[in-house]
Structure 1
C-alpha cells in the first residue's frame, strides 16, 4: 500500500484552497505532471485531501467504495438545501433515492416530453431573428430555467410571467449566496450574499409549500404524494430541483455543443442524420467540457484508492475534467473525437462522471438527456451557426459551472436561408 504522493501541508498556512479554486484545471495538471500520477494529496478547506484524476480512482471512490467515502455532513449544500438525496448518507440516502427515482423515469418522463419540445421551440426559434450575434450562454440558461420551473413547479413563463420572473430572480439570489462565503451578516444598507441567499430561500420555500398544498397535477403533485421521511422533505427537494444549478448545467453543455460544432457543417449534418453519431457527439461534449468540476467526499475509515492509502477523515475530491482526459482510457484525450464512442470507448459511458457516478450519481440523468437531445436536435435541424467574430477568447473557467470566461457570441442562420460564410471557423 503506497503513500499518497504530495504533501498534506500544515494547518491553515499550508492550505491550497485559493490556488485550487482560482484554476482547478491548472492546479491538477501541474501536480499530475509533478508527481507523474493522477492521484495525489494536498490541503484543501484546511483538511488533508486526496485528489482523484484517474478513471480507476474515480470508479473505486464512487462505485466500489461508496459506503466508505461519504458526503460531507457540514457541506454548504446542506445549509442551503437541507437534508436531500444529494446531501444525506447511508440508508436515508438509499430510501430517498428509491422514493424519488420514479419521478424521473418511465411514464413521468414520457409525459414531460411534449412540454420540453414546446419550450425548446419557443426559446430557440428566434436566435437568427435579430440578425446579430447571440450570447448563447444567456439564451440557453433562460431555456433551462423555463424547463425547470415548468416541469417541477408548474410555473410556465407564458402563463404566469410575473411569478416566473420572481422565482427566477430568487433562484439567482439563492445560487449566488450558495457560492459566496457562508457568513450570515446583515447591517443597515448592506447584507452578505449568504444572508441574501437565506432570505431568497425562505421566500422560495413559501412559494413551494403553497404549490405542494394546492397542486395535484404534474411533478409537484406526484412529489407531494410520495412516502418521504418528514413533512419538510418534499419542499426541500423541490428547492433543490428548481435551483439555478440545473439551468446552468444545461446552458454549460449547450454552449459547449454549439462551440464544438461551430462552423462545422459536415459534422452538424452527420449528427442530424445519424442518431448514433449524434449520441457520440453529446458524449464527447460531456467528456471534454463537464459542467461540474467534480465532487467531494470524506473517508469514513482507512481505505485505499488506486493503490494509495487514504487515512480516515481525509477529504477526497474527484476532478471530472481530469478523469475524462485520463490517457489510460481515452486516447488523444484533449481531442474532440465523437468516433471514439463507436470504437475503442464503445460501451464505456460509465467512465464519465459529469453528474457523479455509482449509487450516488445524479438522480435525473435520463431527464437531462431528454433536455439536451431536444435542444441540440432543434439547433441542428433549424440552424447553421458560426462564431461571430471568428476570433474569440474561448478559455474556460471551471467554477462554479464550466463555461468560457468571456461569454461567446454566435451568429445563427436559418437553414432555409443563406449559409454561414465557409471561411468562418470555430
Structure 2
C-alpha cells in the first residue's frame, strides 16, 4: 500500500489464480474476490449471508455499533435514521451554510499566501464542514479540541492493535475515548435544547437522530449508536472528500484542457450571480462537467482501496464454497481500471460519466453500490462542487512537485501532501 504497488500485486494474483483465491490475512483464512460479481456480492447481499468486518484496530477505536459493523435489521434501522438528514431534500437548505464555511476557509488559509500544501488544508476544510453542518459546533475552543483529538485518533486506526503505552494504537484509543466523552456532552446539550423546544430537529445530524421516535415515543437510536456513528461520519467524511479535492487540484494542474472547461463552467455561474451571493442548489445542478471530472478522479484515484466482510454461512460463489466464518477481502475499485469495463483505463476521460447508463452496474463503486451505497453521496457532491467553484474562480496554481507518485496510508497521499504555488486571479 505505501509503495503504491497493491493493485499490481493483486493483478498478478488474479492472472495466476483467477478472480477468486484463498490466502491468509491478519492471521485469518481469507478469500480474495474480484470483479463486478464480487462487488455485487459485497454490496447487495443481505445481512444473513455476509457481515461487515473491519480490522480489529478500527473496531476498537470506532466501536461495534456503527454502520461498518452492524448488519441485518440493526444496519437498516441505523441507516434509515441517518439517511433523512443526508438526502437531497434536506441538504438543499444547507448549501448556503456550506458555502459560508468554504469562503471562510479560503479567506483564512489561501488568500494572501504564495505557497500552500493542499492535502492538510483540505482535511482542515472537510472537518470544519462536518463540525458545522453535521454537529452544530461553531468555530472556537470546542471545535479546536475536536480537531486535535480527531487527528490523534485517526493516526492509529490502521496500526497493529497491540495496546502498549506510547504506541500509535494506544494514543488513538485514548483520543477515541476523549472524543466519545465530547460527543456525549454534545448529545446532552442538544437533548436539553430539544426538550425545551428551542432546537429544530433539522439543525444538525445529532439533533436529527435524537428527534427520531418509535411507536411509543422511545428513541430509535441509542446514545451509544449516535456516538459511534458520529465518529464514523467524522472519519469517512474527513478522509474521502479531502483526498478527492486534493487529487482534483493535482489533475487541474496537469491537464489545461480540463481546467479550462471547468473554469468556463464555474465562471458562467459566478457571472450570473450578484456579487457576494451564496451558491444555491440550482447553481450546483449546472456544474455537470465539474462533477463528471470528480467522478473520473474517483475512478482513477479511489480513496478506499478495498475492505473486509465475514461469511455468516457457507456461500456458493464462482464455482467454489466460501466456508462459514472465513474473511472475505475485496478490492472493489480494481474494476475501475479494468480495460474490458473502461477502455483505456489510464486515460483521464470525464465523458465516461455523461450517462449513468454507460457504466455497467457494480463496476464503478467509489460510493459503494446497491442497498449499501454511501448515504453521504450528496453531501460529498455539494462539498466538492462548492469548494472547486471558489478555488478555480479565485486562484490559479502550479505544482511544486511535478511527480505523479502517491502512496496509501491507507488513503492516497500525493508527494509531500501536494504543495502548490498559488496566484490570486486579480493579480493576473
For normalisation by structure 1, the TM-score amounts to 0.83
**Structure 1 residue 347: deviation in Å?**
5.1
User: How many angstroms apart in 1 are the aligned matches of 2:55 and 2:116?
Assistant: 40
- Answer yes or no: is 1:403 the counterpart of 2:413: yes
User: How many angstroms apart in 2 are the aligned matches of 1:71 and 1:222?
Assistant: 25
Matched-pair contact (CA < 8 Å) for 1:292–1:398? no
Q: Which residues of 2 match residues 67-86 of structure 1 at below 5 A? A: 67-72=48-53, 75-82=56-63, 83-86=65-68
Aligned to 1:174: 153
1:289-326 per-position Cα deviation (integer Å, ceiling 9, x unaligned): 11111111112222244454433322212213312112
**Structure 1 residue 338: deviation in Å?**
0.8
- 3-state DSSP class of the match of 1:384? strand
Structure 1 residues 132 and 238: alpha-carbon distance in aligned structure 2, compared to 1, 3 A threshold: same
For normalisation by structure 2, the TM-score amounts to 0.82
Q: Which residues of 2 match residues 155-170 of structure 1 at below 5 A? A: 155-157=137-139, 160=140, 162-170=141-149
**Structure 1 residue 364: deviation in Å?**
1.3
- Answer yes or no: is 1:49 the counterpart of 2:30: yes
Which of residues 219, 241, 245 in structure 2 aligns to 1:254?
Answer: 245
Which of residues 386, 397, 400 in structure 2 aligns to 1:385?
Answer: 397
Structure 1 residues 178 and 264: alpha-carbon distance in aligned structure 2, compared to 1, 3 A threshold: closer
**Structure 1 residue 29: deviation in Å?**
2.6
Aligned to 1:321: 333
User: How many angstroms apart in 2 are the aligned matches of 1:358 and 1:365?
Assistant: 13
- 3-state DSSP class of the match of 1:313? coil
Q: Which residues of 2 match residues 21-420 of structure 1 at below 5 A? A: 23-35=5-17, 37-64=18-45, 67-72=48-53, 75-82=56-63, 83-125=65-107, 129-130=111-112, 132-157=114-139, 160=140, 162-186=141-165, 191-215=166-190, 216=193, 217=199, 218-219=203-204, 220-226=206-212, 227-243=219-235, 245-272=236-263, 273=265, 275-342=287-354, 346=358, 348=360, 351-389=363-401, 391=402, 393-418=403-428
User: How many angstroms apart in 2 are the aligned matches of 1:65 and 1:330?
Assistant: 29
User: How many angstroms apart in 2 are the aligned matches of 1:108 and 1:277?
Assistant: 24
Asked which structure has the greater RCO (Cα within 8 Å, sep 6+), the reply is 2
Matched-pair contact (CA < 8 Å) for 2:153–2:171? yes
User: How many angstroms apart in 1 are the aligned matches of 2:247 and 2:19?
Assistant: 25
User: How many angstroms apart in 1 are the aligned matches of 2:122 and 2:47?
Assistant: 34
| Most deviating of 290-299 and 220-229 | 220-229
Matched-pair contact (CA < 8 Å) for 1:269–1:380? no
**Structure 1 residue 378: deviation in Å?**
2.1
1:189-214 per-position Cα deviation (integer Å, ceiling 9, x unaligned): xx332222222222212221121111
Structure 1 residues 339 and 49: alpha-carbon distance in aligned structure 2, compared to 1, 3 A threshold: same
Matched-pair contact (CA < 8 Å) for 2:244–2:297? yes
User: How many angstroms apart in 1 are the aligned matches of 2:142 and 2:76?
Assistant: 34
User: How many angstroms apart in 2 are the aligned matches of 1:99 and 1:343?
Assistant: 31
Query: Whose helix fraction is larger, Structure 1's or Structure 2's?
Result: 2
User: How many angstroms apart in 2 are the aligned matches of 1:264 and 1:22?
Assistant: 22
1:69-103 per-position Cα deviation (integer Å, ceiling 9, x unaligned): 21127744332222112211111111111122112
Considering only aligned residues, what root-mean-square deviation do their CA atoms show, in Å? Answer: 2.6
Matched-pair contact (CA < 8 Å) for 1:71–1:89? yes
User: How many angstroms apart in 2 are the aligned matches of 1:69 and 1:417?
Assistant: 57
- 3-state DSSP class of the match of 1:312? coil
**Structure 1 residue 141: deviation in Å?**
0.9
Structure 1 residues 98 and 145: alpha-carbon distance in aligned structure 2, compared to 1, 3 A threshold: same
Unaligned stretches of 5+ in structure 1?
Answer: 1-18, 419-426
**Structure 1 residue 170: deviation in Å?**
0.5
1:350-381 per-position Cα deviation (integer Å, ceiling 9, x unaligned): 53222332323322111111111111222232
User: How many angstroms apart in 2 are the aligned matches of 1:185 and 1:174?
Assistant: 15
User: How many angstroms apart in 2 are the aligned matches of 1:221 and 1:128?
Assistant: 33
- 3-state DSSP class of the match of 1:48? strand
- 3-state DSSP class of the match of 1:278? helix
Structure 1 residues 208 and 65: alpha-carbon distance in aligned structure 2, compared to 1, 3 A threshold: closer
